[in-house]
Amino acid sequence: MWNRQLKLASKASLSLLLVFLLLSCADDTDSYFDQLERMKHIAGLPQGIVVRNSDYLSSAISALDPEQANLHQDRILDSGSSSAGLSLMLSGDVVFPSSALPTHEIVLIDRYPNSVLTFLHPINYKVLWQHSVATGFASNPHDLVWVRDRIVYVTRYQKNLTPGREEFDSGDDLLIVDLEQRKTIGRIGLENYSGSDDPKSYSRPERAVLAFGSVWVSLGRLNHTFDHAQAGALLRIDPQTDEVLDLFEEPSLANCSDIAVFDREESLLVTCSGLYSEGREKQIERSGLWKVSKAGSDWKTEVVLRASQIGQPVSAHLTLGSGWIFFIGMGELGQGKTKDTLWSWIGTKEPPKQLFSAKEAYTFGQILFDSEVNWLYLCDADPKDPHIILFTVESDAITYWKSIDSSPSTGLPPREIAFY
């Protein structure tokens, strides 16, 4: 406990110093990158936690205090906001990048139909700018990853059925955006990675991470009506040349999404949820966790957990911490059916353990692990009692600690949580 308090005190002191420096050196003519350049002799920026609360019709963004694990600011932006710099209001379908940007802006990925990125200042939460990734159609962006100096990839889940009217408007791709110029500069087409010759089958890029010198992108590989899926897939891309280097496939799994990184052993873990439209039994059969690991100069893949081992499909949410793997099992609607479950697993032959169960199905959202203090956050969108649930994690025990009301002014339930 004393070590934890020292970490928090140090982190808080640095945050206060940086807040003072950033605000005191800024004026209305400074760009955010200009402010960062003035502070480049300071190591790091304050890291925070942001939450998206939503009923899928509207969204409210709030910030948590990572030092105290409490609500820091409620409703920093919502679907009714008309802030300066906000040309398009938030929809009810907003997510955050899988990984925080090194410049620490808060990025809101407004998916369908808005297809727009909104950048917020990490200290005063003002809207810095918005950038459309629609290129003339509802492109449905799902993630954003920093790949090199101020250049990001945006995964676009939807394909444009009538391309050719705007530059970079094909969709089903990675859009390349220059954050300093605030413009789209290219795309990486993924049309050839759908796993099928059928033109109505799409690659559907989902989540993306930068790890081990490459960008890794999971593919949903669903057709235009979402009722057929090809083999689970993961792409490896060169972040300097924007070229696809490898395609990894797992034929027994389908509809892959979240990616977690094992830094020490140079491997990644990928969630695959199966296909809801195929029925519960078939969905479980095609769901699980698979691992891509470095093997000499090559990479190897293996399924490490099948959903049949837990009796429910694995959702798109995954995180790692203190030697544990945390993931969500998807419940089923109906009286007497299974509910959403938070599972913990040490990744060995021992079976996963049920850590926490929801009161209903389809209420557990994103999970987040804070490795500095070994805290695990879980979004619980229980319609009667929506909260962020917090656990303390040790190498041999995981303990419920407390709940956080993440949007008291709106009552909207928490769905997504991320670092910035």
- Position 61 in a domain: no
Structure tokens at 91: 């929809």
Amino acid at 115: S
- Position 92 in a domain: no
Residue 6 has pLDDT above 70, yes or no: no
Q: Which whole number is the average pLDDT over 372-377? A: 95
Residue 22 binned pLDDT confidence (cut-offs 50, 70, 90): low
- Position 9 in a domain: yes
pLDDT value, residue 348: 82
Which domain covers residue 8, as residue numbers? 1-46
What's the start-to-end Cα distance of the chain, in Å? 25
Collapse the DSSP code of 62 into the 3-class scheme (helix H, G, I; strand E, B; otherwise coil) and give the result.
Answer: strand
- Position 22 in a domain: yes
pLDDT tens digits, one per residue of 243-275 = 999 999 999 999 999 999 998 889 999 999 999
Alpha helical stretches, state H, 81-157 = none
- Position 18 in a domain: yes
10: enclosing H helix or E strand: helix 2-25
User: Higher model confidence: residue 344 or residue 333?
Assistant: 344
**Token pair 């439209």 is at which residue?**
277
- Position 111 in a domain: no
375: Cβ–Cβ under 8 A, 6 or more apart, which residues?
A: 69, 369, 390, 391, 392, 393, 401
User: Is the distance from CB of 94 to CB of 415 less than 8 angstroms?
Assistant: no
Q: How many domains does the chain have?
A: 1
Collapse the DSSP code of 217 into the 3-class scheme (helix H, G, I; strand E, B; otherwise coil) and give the result.
Answer: strand
pLDDT tens digits, one per residue of 180-219 = 999 999 999 999 999 999 999 999 999 999 999 999 999 9
| Mean pLDDT estimate for the chain | 90
- Position 161 in a domain: no
- Position 177 in a domain: no
